[in-house]
Amino acid sequence: MNFIVFPGQGSQKIGMGKKLADNFKVAKEVFEEVNDALNFNLTKIIWEGSDNEVSLTSNAQPALMACGVAAFRVLSKIRNKNITQLADFTCGHSLGEYTAMTVSEVFSLKDCATLLRLRGEAMQKAVPVGKGAMAALIGININKTKEIIQNVQILGVCDVGNDNADGQVVISGDIKAVEKAIELSKNSGVKRAVLLPVSAPFHCRLMEPAGVIMEEALNNLDFKVPKIPIISNVSASDHTNPTELKKNLINQVTGTVRWRETMQFANNIGIKKIIELGSGKVLTGIAKRMLNNVSTECFENPEDFENLI
């Protein structure tokens, strides 16, 4: 059985997707459609802009999605297979879940682009700049992390934002609470604890204003049954019911990305191959560390497809 996975924010970089668009018509068409949906030239920012511009949440989210969908469509064309023939399940990290739903035809590429632009803007505006923070805790387990953050709640919100892998947890919330959690973690066996260069504290209770905005937008959109099951970030289990898929995306704004448990789900059902589509190789790196007897493929640039052509 195969998993197709799509990366989340943090995997963006200048130039991503350009080689695919230059070499494959189906990829070029994806970026053109996203530009049209947003009514501005996002690809100019991705390919010619600055790191700050491409990392801006409202740009990074639709841009990463476009790269993932473009890579999927190239893979589908070269292998002459549709999504049901390429994979048994699909999922994505945070915004990558929107990409997974797009290739599974839950909603259109155009709708996804506008949703992610809105999501990025709403998440950015939810918390004043400088008030929130996120930090990566390396070498500590989820239970110990929860103990630590329970002891800093008096200083403000501090939640588990991403439970990424064994010994890799990201916390999110008010900056004073996050900084105190970093301090406490150093006495709890953490190997490394660092503040992340992000513009807002994603996947925590401070994102509730963004959750309200996304709930309204998602409720106005018609969700279709996916071609293959979607593994949800918030449940770490598979879903095909459109109502559940919509609810999962709403809850995802403030909820923990349960990626470690998603990989455990993959292990439990006997996934043999993880295919990462889009920018970077972060998710296949995690899969290699966590899954038994799994092979991986990453498709980002034209050379990644050479052995298939």
Q: What does the chain look like in DSSP terms, one character per residue?
A: -EEEEE--TT---TTTTHHHHHH-HHHHHHHHHHHHHHTS-HHHHHHHS-HHHHHSHHHHHHHHHHHHHHHHHHHHHHHT--HHHH-SEEEESTTHHHHHHHHTTSS-HHHHHHHHHHHHHHHHHHS-TTTEEEEEEES--HHHHHHHHHTTGGGS-EEEEEEEETTEEEEEEEHHHHHHHHHHHTTTT-SEEEE---SS--SSGGGHHHHHHHHHHHHTSPPPPPSSPEEPTTTSSEE--HHHHHHHHHHHTTS-B-HHHHHHHHHHTT--EEEEESS-SHHHHHHHHH-SS-EEEEE-SGGGGGGG-
Average pLDDT, the chain: 95
CATH number for 184: 3.30.70.250
Last residue of some domain: 144, 176, 198? 198
Asked if 183 and 120 sit in the same domain, the reply is no
Share above pLDDT 70 across residues of the chain, in percent, rounded to a whole number? 100
Which residues does the annotation mark as catalytic? 94, 203
What are the tens digits of pLDDT across the range 4-32? 999 999 889 999 999 999 999 999 999 99
pTM of the model: 0.96
What are the tens digits of pLDDT across the range 65-116? 999 999 999 999 999 999 999 999 999 999 999 999 999 999 999 999 999 9
Asked if 188 and 271 sit in the same domain, the reply is no
Band (187; pLDDT cuts 50, 70, 90): confident
Asked if 113 and 164 sit in the same domain, the reply is no
Band (306; pLDDT cuts 50, 70, 90): confident
Asked if 121 and 136 sit in the same domain, the reply is no
Asked if 103 and 120 sit in the same domain, the reply is yes
